[in-house]
Structure 1
C-alpha cells in the first residue's frame, strides 16, 4: 500500500472502516478507475466494498473531513493559496433500473419538469499553490441533491428567499469551510469562482483579512464610479473597453474554442456596487467597493465561427496598474484546473458515472473517495514538465523508484530527444514514463499527453509494477 492511501487512518472512528477505506482508495489510484467491478477481481472484495459504501455507521462528514484534513502542513503556512470553487453533477440516468428515483439521496438535476435526468451535485474547494499552481488538496467537498417534490422557483418566491435557503449558499459556505481548514494560515488565500459566484451576499460576507475574492461577473448591476456617478455595469464596461490597453493573452482550448494567442483590450478600475433592490439592509451595505478587470478580444483576433472572448472579473484586491490587473487574470485562469479535475473524475479518468452501486448514499460516498484519487491523477498530469519540481514519492513508494528506472530505458528512443529529460526521483520523470506507456511519442514538438493517455499509461504501469513486486517477493521467499 502506498503512502498516499493512508488518508483515513484514525479518522472514521472504526479501525475496520478505516482499513477498508484506505484499501479502496489505494485500488482507485492503482487502477485509475472509480468503477467497483474494475477495482476488484475477487467476489469477496467486491462484496466488502459494497458493504462499506452502504454502511450506516460511515459518516459522510467523517469521509469529507478525512480528505480535507489530510494535506495541510506547516510547510504551506506562509504560501499564497488559491481555492478554486465550482459545481459538477453526477448523472444517474444510466442506472435508472438499478437506482430508484425515489431514493432520498438522489433528485432531479434540472429545475424544470421537462428533463428526467436525476442524480446529485458536487461542489469542491480545490487548493492550488499560489506560486506554482500545483494542486495540493481540498478545503471542502459539498455534496447534495434536490428534493423530488421541491417547489419551483416561482412557488418559493426564490428571489425573496434568504441566501441560506438557496442552493447558491454553497459558494458562501465553502469560504467558511476554507477558513476553518486554513485557520492560522499566514499567507494570502484567494477564493476563485466562475459566474455563479457573482452573488451580492458573498461580496458582503466578512472574511479574515488575508482572504480575498476573484470572481467572474455575470449580473447587470447598478454601480458608482470614482466620481460617484451612477451607471449600469454592462454599459460602463463597454465604455471602458474602448480605453483599454491592447495585450496578447494565451486562451486555453475548450469544446467550442481553439487555443490561441488573442489580442485583447485590457481595462481595470475601482467601482462601488449598489445593493440590489430585492435585498434588505440586513443582507448587506448600500454599496460595496470592488475592483474590476476586463479583457475583451479585438474583432480581428477572433477566428471564423467563434465568439470573441470577453472576461470581466471582480476582486477585492487593489488594482492600480497593469501588472496588478494581469495578476488577477492569471489567478482567474487557474480555475481551469477544476475543469480538468472533473474530467478526471468522469469520462477522461475514473469514469465514476459508470459505477454500478445499490443506492444514492453509496454513490455519494464513492464519489467523495474518488475525488481524492482524481486529485492524485491531476497532480501526475500537471507536473509532466517538472515545472512544480515535485517528488515521485508523492504517488509511489520509495522502493518502487527502482522499478521506474528499470522501465525508463525500455521506453526511451535512440536519439537524445527521445530520452527522459527529467531528474531521477522527480514526479515529472515518472509522468514522462507514464505518458510513454500510454502512447505518447516522447517528442516535445508534439502535444503533451492528455488525461486519457496518462490514465492508460498509469494502468499499464500499475499492472507491471504489481508483477514486479510479486517476482521480487518470490525471490525473497
Structure 2
C-alpha cells in the first residue's frame, strides 16, 4: 500500500478534464479524501483555500464524472496484465439519500417515498491465484424516472436494451473494450439477477467466460426435464466443506455440500427468439431440507469434466461476496457516500466517483487478512512502516524478518481502536482504515524527525 498522495497521482494523474489545473485539483482532492475517508470536506481540508478549491471542483459542471472514472478504469486495466486469471465480480447496489434538497434530481429506489437515489453496477477485478483485489474495471450509474414506478408491469413489452437487465451485457462490452485481448483471461462472476437469456447468449457468441448463478429452473434439451429436476437426479461427484460466518441474526455454521455437474443445453424461452445455449451446470447443495439449506445452481461456459474443475468453479463463485463488501465499503463503512449532503446530482456523481476508487483501496487493506498464511506484511507495508507499527504495538526491538500479513491486519485494527468484542476475528473497514491513517501519521512524524536530524 503506497501513501495516499502517490496513490492519487497514479490513479488520477492522467485524467483528461480539459484543463491540467483541474487534474491537479482532482489528485489533491483524492489524496485528501483517502487520508480520512467518510469525513466531510470541511473537516479534512488543511486550509480555507483548500476547502474552497475542493468544493469548486465538486461543483464544476465542466468536470465530467465519466472522465474521472475512465482514468481509474484504465489504471486497473494496466494492473490486470500482471495476472494470469481474473474474476470480474459483478453486482448492483442502490445509493440512497433522504435529504429534501436533492430529492427532485434523483429517482425511486424501491424504498418508499422517503428516499431517492441512484443505482450503480460495479465490476471488481480479482486475481484468484494471488488472492489479490486488482481494482475497479467498470461502474455505471443511473436514476429511475420517478413517474415510471411500477413499470415492471410492462416488462415483457420493453425492448431488451431498454431494460435494467441490459446492464450486465453493457458492463461486459465496456470491460472488453478496456482490456482488449486480456478479456480472454477474465471470467465474469454474477449472481442470479444475471440469469438472462440474452446476456448468456451474448457471452457465448463473444466467447467471453462466465459463471452465473441460475435464478430459475429453465427448460433443457436433456430429456423432458427442467434444469433443477435434472440436477437432482445427478450422481454426487464429491463433497465440499465450507464455513458460513455469523452475520446479523444468522449464526455461524459449518456446511457439507454435495457437488454435481453435467453438460446441459438450455432451450430458448417461449417468449424469445434465438438459439439453444450449450453450457455446463455445476450444483452445490447442502444436506438436509431446511429453508436455510445452501443451494447453488451455477451455469458456466468453462469446460467441466472432472470434480476438480467443478470445485474450482464453486471456489470462484465463493469470491463473489467481495463485490458486496466493496459496495459496503463505498456506501457506508468506508467512504460513507450516503452521508453526503451535496445539493445536486452532478455534484454527488463527481464525489461518488472519486470515492469509488478510494473504496477499492480500503477493501484491499481489509482483504489482507484472507491472504495465504505465509504472506508477508511487506505486501502492504513498507519495511519502515511495519517496524514502526511493531514498536508502537509491541514496544520492543522489531524482528529481522517481516511478520505475517495477518499480524499487520490485527495490529492495524487494534491501532484503530478494535477490541474484537464479538470474537469474530474480523475488524470493520472503518477501524482498519483508522489504524492505517494513524500509522501514516507516525511514519510522517518519523520521516520529519529524521530529515531535521532531531535527537529523539
Shift of 1:91: 0.7
Q: Does 1:259 align with 2:252?
A: yes
Contact 1:386-1:422 at 8 Å conserved across structures = no
Matched residue, 1:405 = 387
The C-alpha deviation readout for 1:237-283, integer Å capped at 9, x for no partner, is 3344x75644323334443533332112221111111111221x2xx
Tell me the distance in 2 between the aligned counterparts of 1:237 and 1:327. Answer: 19
Shift of 1:232: 2.1
Shift of 1:90: 0.9
Q: Kindly report the root-mean-square deviation, in angstroms, between the aligned alpha carbons of the 2 structures.
A: 3.1
Distance of aligned partners of 1:217 and 1:356 in 2 relative to their CA distance in 1, 3 Å threshold: same
Distance of aligned partners of 1:91 and 1:151 in 2 relative to their CA distance in 1, 3 Å threshold: closer
Matched residue, 2:221 = 224
User: Pick from 429, 436, 440: which aligns with 1:458?
Assistant: 436
Contact 2:85-2:129 at 8 Å conserved across structures = yes
Tell me the distance in 1 between the aligned counterparts of 2:63 and 2:353. Answer: 12
User: Pick from 133, 140, 143: which aligns with 2:141?
Assistant: 143
Tell me the distance in 2 between the aligned counterparts of 1:422 and 1:177. Answer: 44
Matched residue, 2:121 = 123
Shift of 1:208: 7.9
Distance of aligned partners of 1:257 and 1:322 in 2 relative to their CA distance in 1, 3 Å threshold: farther
Tell me the distance in 2 between the aligned counterparts of 1:206 and 1:213. Answer: 7
Contact 1:422-1:428 at 8 Å conserved across structures = no
Tell me the distance in 2 between the aligned counterparts of 1:52 and 1:188. Answer: 38
Matched residue, 1:188 = 185
Q: Does 1:313 align with 2:298?
A: yes
The C-alpha deviation readout for 1:262-316, integer Å capped at 9, x for no partner, is 112221111111111221x2xx31x10111111111129x7xxx71111111111
Shift of 1:213: 0.8
Tell me the distance in 2 between the aligned counterparts of 1:295 and 1:83. Answer: 21
Q: Does 1:107 align with 2:112?
A: no
Q: Does 1:360 align with 2:341?
A: no
Contact 1:403-1:465 at 8 Å conserved across structures = yes
Unaligned runs of 5+ in 1: none
Matched residue, 1:249 = 242
Contact 1:89-1:119 at 8 Å conserved across structures = yes
The C-alpha deviation readout for 1:209-245, integer Å capped at 9, x for no partner, is 76311011112321122xxx122233333344x7564
- Secondary structure of 1:223's counterpart equals coil
Contact 2:377-2:407 at 8 Å conserved across structures = no
Q: Does 1:423 align with 2:423?
A: no
Contact 1:264-1:296 at 8 Å conserved across structures = yes
Matched residue, 2:45 = 40
Matched residue, 1:9 = 13
Tell me the distance in 2 between the aligned counterparts of 1:263 and 1:427. Answer: 29
Distance of aligned partners of 1:316 and 1:38 in 2 relative to their CA distance in 1, 3 Å threshold: farther
Q: Does 1:88 align with 2:88?
A: no
User: Pick from 427, 432, 436: which aligns with 2:414?
Assistant: 436
Higher helix share: 2
Tell me the distance in 2 between the aligned counterparts of 1:11 and 1:190. Answer: 28
Matched residue, 1:170 = 167
Residue correspondence of structure 1 range 195-210 to structure 2 within 5 A: 195-206=192-203
Bigger relative contact order, structure 1 or 2, given CA contacts below 8 A and separation 6+? 1
- Secondary structure of 1:312's counterpart equals strand
- Secondary structure of 1:116's counterpart equals coil
Shift of 1:10: 3.0
Contact 1:292-1:314 at 8 Å conserved across structures = yes
User: Pick from 284, 288, 293: which aligns with 2:282?
Assistant: 293
- TM-score if structure 2 supplies the norm length? 0.87
Shift of 1:178: 1.2
Contact 2:76-2:135 at 8 Å conserved across structures = yes
Shift of 1:392: 5.3
Contact 1:213-1:316 at 8 Å conserved across structures = yes
User: Pick from 313, 320, 342: which aligns with 1:328?
Assistant: 313
Shift of 1:151: 5.8
The C-alpha deviation readout for 1:154-202, integer Å capped at 9, x for no partner, is 56x2112221100111111111111111102175210001111111111
Distance of aligned partners of 1:402 and 1:78 in 2 relative to their CA distance in 1, 3 Å threshold: closer
Shift of 1:421: 10
- Secondary structure of 2:76's counterpart equals coil
Matched residue, 1:31 = 36
Shift of 1:432: 4.7
Unaligned runs of 5+ in 2: none
Q: Does 1:269 align with 2:251?
A: no
The C-alpha deviation readout for 1:18-70, integer Å capped at 9, x for no partner, is 11111121112211326333432533323222221121111122111011011
Contact 2:377-2:408 at 8 Å conserved across structures = no
Contact 1:248-1:262 at 8 Å conserved across structures = yes
